[in-house]
Structures are given as C-alpha cells and as structure tokens.
Amino acid sequence: MAKTVNVWIDGVHLEVPDSMTIIEAADKQGINIPRLCYHPDLPPTANCGVCVVEITGNPVPKRACCTPVAEGMKITTNTNKLRAYRKTLVEMILSNHEVVCPTCAANNKCELQSLANNLGVDPDALPSILQKKKVDDSSFSIIRDVNKCIACGRCVTVCNEVQTVYALTFSDRGIDAHIDTAFGLGMANSPCVNCGQCTVYCPTGALREKSEIDAVWEAILDPDKHVIVQEAPAIRVSLAEEFGMELGTVTAKKMYAALRKIGFDSIMDTNFTADLTIMEEGTECVAKLKSGSKRPLITSCSPGWIKFMETYYPDLADCVSTAKSPMSMFGALSKTYYAQEQKIDPAKIVSVAIMPCTAKKFEARRPELKDSGFQDTDYVLTTREFIRMIKEAGIDFKHVKEEEADAGMSFYTGAGTIFGATGGVMEAAIRSAYTLVTGQELEAIDIQAVRGLEGVKEATIPVPGFGDLKVAVAHGLSNARIVMDKIREGLATKGESPWHFVEIMACPGGCVGGGGQPYGNNMAMRARRGQGLYQEDKNLPIRKSHHNPEVKRIYERFIGEPNSPLAHKLLHTHYFKRSVSNGQVVEEVTHKHH
Amino acid sequence: MYKEICGKYAPTKDNLIYILHEIQDTHPQHYISEEAVQVISDYLKIPSNHIYGVLTFYSMYSTKPRGKNIIRLCESPPCYIKGSDNILRKLKNALNIKVGETTQDGLFTLELAACLGVCGNAPVMMINDDVYGDLTEEKVDEIITKIRGGK
Ligand code: SF4
Ligand code: SF4
Ligand code: SF4
Ligand code: FES
C-alpha cells in the first residue's frame, strides 16, 4: 500500500498517495491549476512555469506539475502574485509566437489560446520578438511550424519515450533552444514514422497534419471525377465529441449522411476491407500454423508500425503479414473491382480515405502501392480534416438525418468495426481463424484478454486440432519494442517465437488514439471511443468476418479465394529495410508473390 | 576513420563527449558530420537525434564544416571596452563573412567566444591554438595576410 498524506489545496483538505504531484492531487479534486506543458498522460517536462503555486513556509513559488505532495502541505493556487506571474509568462510566450488564431489548425483546441484567454492576456502586451523560421513541410504526413512552438517538450517526450522513434530532439540552448530533427534535415529525412502522436499531444498548432482538404474539394467539384470514399472504423466513434454529443457515440449513419452532403459520389466503408483483411491475414496465419513454422505472424494494418518495423526490425520483416492494410486493399479494389462492377473508367476514379491516422498519408504515397495500375489511394484525410470539411460545408452534424452507405464495399461485421481499438484485429482474426482451422464456429467470441489499455496483452486460445494458440497484442511503439525484442530473442536462443500470432498498432489505444484524431484527447478519451466500437460490435447482427455477405460476394465474383493469385496481386505487399538515421529505403527485404 | 576513433573508447554512453571531441579535432574541417553521428550512434547505441541534441547544446561543437583556421574573437566586457567591436567589424570586412560563417576558400571561420582568460591583453582573439592580443585593425590585417600567404 502506498502511503497517504494530508494536504490542503486552497483550503480543501485532501488525503492522497504520497507518490502524487501537487497537480495530480489538484486534478483529482477538480481544482484546475493553470498549466501549459504538463499533460496527464506524460511525465512532466516542467518547462513552462505556468503551474506555479505557493506553499506555506516556502519563500518561492513551486511548479505544481513536478513537486510531490508532502504531509501537512498547505497550497495556494490563486493569488494576485501568482496570477501576475502567470500572465507575464504567457505574454512572453506570445511575444515570440506567430499569433494567427483564426486561421490556425489548433484554433479553439489550442491550450495556449485558452490559457491566454482564461488569464485575460493581451497578445500585444509585449512587442513581438518573433524571428520567423522556415516551416518543416518535408513530410507527407506532418507539418512542423516552429513559429507556433512554445518549446514545452511534449513532442520530444512522446516521440522518444512513448514511441521510441527518436525523430525529434531539443536543439541548441538558451533562447535559441528549439525542437528539431537531427541536423535540421526535416521530418522526411528522419526516422519519423508519421504516427502523429506528437500532433495529438502538442498543446498548440505547431504540429499538425499536412492537409489535403483543398485537393479533395477540387476532386468533388470536378464533374469528370468519380470520388469514392472510405472511412476507418475509429472515425465513427470520434465525431460525436466534436459536435456536442456524448464521447464515443457510434455515428456511422450520420457520418454517411454528412459525406453525401459534402458531395462524395460513392460512400463505402473501410470496415468492409477490414473484414476482407481478416480473410486474407487469417488464411495466411492458418497456413503458417499448419506449416509448423516457428516464426510468428504479425499484423500489418498500422502504417506507423510498418515503417517502424522497416527501420528497427527489418530482420523480422518476413514475420509480418503480407496483407495490405484495409485502407490500401480498399484503394486497389476501388479502381479494379468497383470500377468493373460500376462500369466506370478507373482513370476517373478518385479514391479518398478518411483515417484517424497521419501515417496513412505516407502509406498512400508508397510507390509500391499501385497494383490497380494507378496510385491505389489518392487522398487521405484525418478525422480532424474531415471535421473541418463538415464545418466548412455548414452541416449540422448532430441533427443530420441518418443515411445508409452505398452497397458493394460497405457492409461490415462486428469483427471489422473493432479493428479500430487495440486488440481488435487480434479478436477479429481469432473469430475467423478458429473456423478456418477447425471448420467449427467459435462460440465465446468476446475475447476479453486482448481488450483494454494494458501495453502488452497476452492470451492463449485452445484450438481443437491445433493445440494452444498463443497470441500477444501491443499498442504504442515502446510496447511494440518489448514484444519484438522478445520475438528476436526467442528466435535467436530457442529458434522459436513465444507467440504464434501478434497484433501491433503504432498508437497508444489503437486507431481510436490515432495521430489524426481530434486534438485535446488523452488515454481516458481513447478508452471511451474504444468502448463505443465494442458496443457497436455487440449490437451488429453479424460479428465474424467470414459471414460478411459482401466479402463472400467479392470472392465469388472477383478474387476467387483468399490468397489467390489475384488476391496476392491486389491485396498483398512487401517490405523494405530503412536507414535508422534518415528513414530512407536501403533495400527490399521481402518480395511480392507473383 | 570514425570507426577507428570510436574503437579507442569503450562503447559506453559516458564516452560520447570524448569521442565527439576527438572526431572534431582530427577532422580537417573541425566539425562533426551526419556520417560521423551515424557511426557513433551505431557504436554507442545512442539514437542520432540524442547525439545531435548534445552536439548543439555545447557551443564547442560544430555541425557545419569549418575553415582551416578558426578565429575566435573574445566578446566579453573587458575586450568590448577595449574596442573588440571595431576588431569584429574589421574581421568581417577583411574576410567578407559574418560570424559563424566560413570563407569560400575554406581558410577561415569566424566565431565569437566567451572570455579567453587573457584580459590583460584585450582585445584578444585566438586562431586555432594561438592567442593574439592587443589587437588593432592594422594588426588584424597583418595576421590575416600572413596566414593567407602561408596557406
Ligand atoms: S497555436 Fe494557438 S495561440 Fe498560436 S496561433 Fe494557433 S491557436 Fe493561436
Ligand atoms: S509523427 Fe510520431 S514518429 Fe514522427 S515525430 Fe511525431 S511522434 Fe515522432
Ligand atoms: S512542437 Fe508542440 S509539443 Fe513540441 S515543443 Fe513545440 S509546442 Fe510543445
Ligand atoms: S505545467 Fe508545470 S512547468 Fe509547465
């Protein structure tokens, strides 16, 4: 048992564990100490000084985010002196900041803006000393605008400690200190895996996605183009919170209605190709199990994870499923199967994906992903960009009447929808792989052991005729490292992986916690969105991918069977080894089936 | 070459500073390149971005190629009082570069330094390991011409 201590914050008595900081104790009690660099999901960087409080008996104010509580502590959070001090700090930050709130991607979600607002700070109180620096727009996914950076260090913590990618660092010192990539070469020439976690945790608009909204509007308004759209599982549980509805509410049908109002020609759903992925990956998994291979099969749907694997674990690339991600399967099929069925010239099809993810923008531009004869996916919009489009189109999302998607590539099962949460791909795969191995249906399909936010989850599923199926699930790339290191070690020392089947997602919480998700979210919010997906799964009439009628239809009419030559051509891919220092391709390490 | 230098030190993180020093000192252009950082990163198992952070934190390291002769003019108050700002202007004109830059021919880099510890001879500058004191504009001309002639 942790020891507890008695503290008084603004006269309110609290009994809290002695391991807590003052800010954690205050938050627990709903006392809001102003802060800027502190985020509850991350270790404190204590860079900004805004969270200062007075402690009786202490001559100088202390930072609440990094000062632990102690027995008998009497803390005051709001005095004239503290308010004046905080105000001056924020004035100083704003004097070295490009203040352009109305056009800023973070507008209304910016923690600096709301702090300045709350403290009544005049942005022009001090003359501007900003020396405009070049915006880093080298990446397909992320824009880094130093002119809006307050050097809080959250992105550095997230990139180095949560994701262990090591793309961002503090450079120089004193007043020259700023965030940079090594040698200032830009995000595109760093090991950055485009996960976008830095954009989600950045308190300002300094880190954001590279927007493709304009290009998508242009395609929509071009009468010669047929614009088809897919939406990832996590999107349907991440819109409600932005439009005055309860966090985590499933809004799939409002989402379809909004897309139709925006003007997309064909409204489909990534959940359909999530089910298809299970057929392809599940078949691959079963073949591997039957072959007696000692190497695991690892999931391949998370593009941040794939680039990470190519950079840090290329020696294990042959263990990663060759199945493309649901997004890329959809892209390839939109310009082949869909074009054929609808009798549309594939050259006129513009394939748009709405994703909770910034890394999908990078994935869509991978040169190898053009098996349809065209770049399979043309544009990727993040959840944040989609929300902006809904607002630009003046749609009252909360009250919009529900509509259905178009038929063909939109039907989905519960298995497809839980792809959006950590453990969901594993659970969906087990539901179908079981049948593929045994010929029987799995009855207990709620696989609780792989649900939830624990960093690494393990489970053993008895499969008649095979034995114990050992699986592991990791989310967040520091957790992926734990699992990958164990696999590497197991193969080196015992010639055997500790697990048969492994799911890895780059973002903490899975796609519901993706780098393209609405700003201002935290692990607790990610969990709520995930619960929304499990709720939808429970309510859907079909909950196993192999029972999806549209999936059956596409195999009958087009692909033949899972892992067929056409499936390999359109739905599978191969991987590369990348340089640890700059992320560029060094060589191809696995090859495409022909 | 970088590998050899690394090899002289045990592959422990506390040797980073020493390795960086030796690599910079032995490089004809007195700097630490991307390639060098990559080699150190592999050797010490420290991510490149961390090494870059260290490099830029300390003013003694350079991440850009520097000239054969590194001029470090003291910018501390004693030198300033004795007219180091005139010397700086003179140096900039004579070399046709700004502080932090290197001449086209790769002969000179101009930098500023905190106190060099010879305030008695202010204003002072160092060129590589040699100290030049009691500077005047004429003296600066002489020194530069001499180095240029000697190459
Ligand atoms: S980062 Fe925040 S304060 Fe700065 S311009 Fe954007 S919204 Fe305004
Ligand atoms: S996108 Fe991810 S990998 Fe890239 S800098 Fe941000 S946190 Fe690091
Ligand atoms: S880019 Fe954003 S998260 Fe990173 S230091 Fe700047 S303000 Fe903080
Ligand atoms: S919030 Fe505590 S120092 Fe920034």
Q: A264 and A156, same structural domain?
A: no
- State percent of chain A over pLDDT 90: 95
Mean pLDDT of A373-398: 97
- State percent of chain A over pLDDT 70: 100
Band (pLDDT 50/70/90 cuts) for residue B151 is low
Could you read off the pLDDT of A33-51 as tens digits, one per residue? 999 999 999 999 999 999 9
Residue A158's nearest CA partner among A116, A197, A108 is: A197
Q: A232 and A142, same structural domain?
A: no
pLDDT of residue A594: 62
**A208, A243, A262 - which closes a domain:** A208
Report which ligand 4 atom has the smallest distance to the Cα of A23: 2
Could you read off the pLDDT of A184-234 as tens digits, one per residue? 999 999 999 999 999 999 999 999 999 999 999 999 999 999 999 999 999
- Give the N- to C-terminal CA distance of chain A in Å, as an integer: 60
CB contact under 8 A, B53 and A170: yes
Whether residue A564 is contained in a domain is answered as yes
Mean pLDDT of A576-583: 94
pLDDT of residue B28: 87
Which residue in chain A is spatially nearest to B34 when comparing CA positions? Answer: A183
pTM comes to: 0.91
- Chain A contact for B56 (CB, 8 A cutoff): yes
Whether residue A85 is contained in a domain is answered as no
CB contact under 8 A, B34 and A182: yes
Band (pLDDT 50/70/90 cuts) for residue A593 is confident
Which residue in chain B is spatially nearest to A179 when comparing CA positions? Answer: B53
Band (pLDDT 50/70/90 cuts) for residue B91 is very high
Whether residue A287 is contained in a domain is answered as yes
Q: A115 and A42, same structural domain?
A: no
- For strand A501-505 and strand B108-113, is the pairing parallel, antiparallel, or unpaired? unpaired
CATH of the domain at A178: 3.30.70.20
* Consecutive H or E run containing A381: strand A379-382
Q: What mean pLDDT value characterizes chain A?
A: 96
For the cut 60, the answer to whether the pLDDT of residue A360 exceeds it is: yes
pLDDT of residue A532: 97
Residue B48 with chain A: CB contacts under 8 Å: 166, 182, 191, 580-581
Whether residue A91 is contained in a domain is answered as no
pLDDT of residue B31: 92
Q: A532 and A462, same structural domain?
A: yes
pLDDT of residue A443: 93
| Residue A232 CB less than 6 A away from ligand 3 | no
pLDDT of residue B118: 86
Residue A166 with chain B: CB contacts under 8 Å: 47-50
Could you read off the pLDDT of A253-293 as tens digits, one per residue? 999 999 999 999 999 999 999 999 999 999 999 999 999 89
Give the closest ligand to the alpha carbon of residue A188: 2
CB burial string A237-267: b at 16+ within 10 A, e below: bbbbbbbeeebbbbbbebbbbbbbbbebbbb
Whether residue A593 is contained in a domain is answered as no
Whether residue A542 is contained in a domain is answered as yes
Whether residue A248 is contained in a domain is answered as yes
CATH of the domain at A550: 3.40.50.1780
- Report ipTM for this prediction: 0.78
Mean pLDDT of A337-343: 97
Q: A413 and A515, same structural domain?
A: yes
pLDDT of residue B1: 85
Q: A353 and A287, same structural domain?
A: yes
CB contact under 8 A, A171 and B37: no
Bridge-partner residues for A344, per DSSP? none
pLDDT of residue B113: 85
**A188, A208, A228 - which closes a domain:** A208
pLDDT of residue B117: 83
For the cut 70, the answer to whether the pLDDT of residue A477 exceeds it is: yes
Pick from A94, A145, A149 the residue to mutate for probing ligand 3's pocket: most ligand atoms within 8 Å of its CB.
A149
pLDDT of residue A207: 97
CB contact under 8 A, A169 and B53: yes
Q: A187 and A42, same structural domain?
A: no
Q: A331 and A190, same structural domain?
A: no
Bridge-partner residues for A349, per DSSP? A226
Smallest Cβ–Cβ distance between A169 and the set B38, B50, B63 belongs to B50
Coil/strand/helix, residue A574: coil
Residue A173 with chain B: CB contacts under 8 Å: 56-57
**φ, ψ dihedrals at A552, nearest 5°:** -60, -40
CATH of the domain at A47: 3.10.20.740
* Residue A401 CA, ligand 3 centroid: distance in Å: 39
Q: A281 and A147, same structural domain?
A: no
* Residue A21 CA, ligand 3 centroid: distance in Å: 23
Mean pLDDT of A62-87: 96
Which residue in chain B is spatially nearest to A168 when comparing CA positions? Answer: B49
Residue of A156, A169, A579 for testing the chain B interface, max B β-carbons within 10 Å? A169
Smallest Cβ–Cβ distance between B48 and the set A171, A172, A182 belongs to A182
Residue of B44, B56, B63, B99 for testing the chain A interface, max A β-carbons within 10 Å? B56
Whether residue A90 is contained in a domain is answered as no
For the cut 70, the answer to whether the pLDDT of residue A458 exceeds it is: yes
Q: A369 and A426, same structural domain?
A: yes
Q: A309 and A431, same structural domain?
A: yes
Report which ligand 2 atom has the smallest distance to the Cα of A193: 3
Count the domains in chain A: 3
Band (pLDDT 50/70/90 cuts) for residue A174 is confident
pLDDT of residue A30: 92
Residue A160 with chain B: CB contacts under 8 Å: 47, 49-50
Residue-range definition of the domain harbouring residue A250: 214-588
pLDDT of residue A173: 77
For the cut 90, the answer to whether the pLDDT of residue A319 exceeds it is: yes
Mean pLDDT of A556-564: 96
Sequence-distant (6+) residues with CB within 8 A of B137 are: B86, B87, B90
CB burial string B1-18: b at 16+ within 10 A, e below: ebeebbeebeeeeebbee
Q: A187 and A39, same structural domain?
A: no
Mean pLDDT of A361-383: 97
CB contact under 8 A, B52 and A160: no
**A16, A45, A78 - which closes a domain:** A78
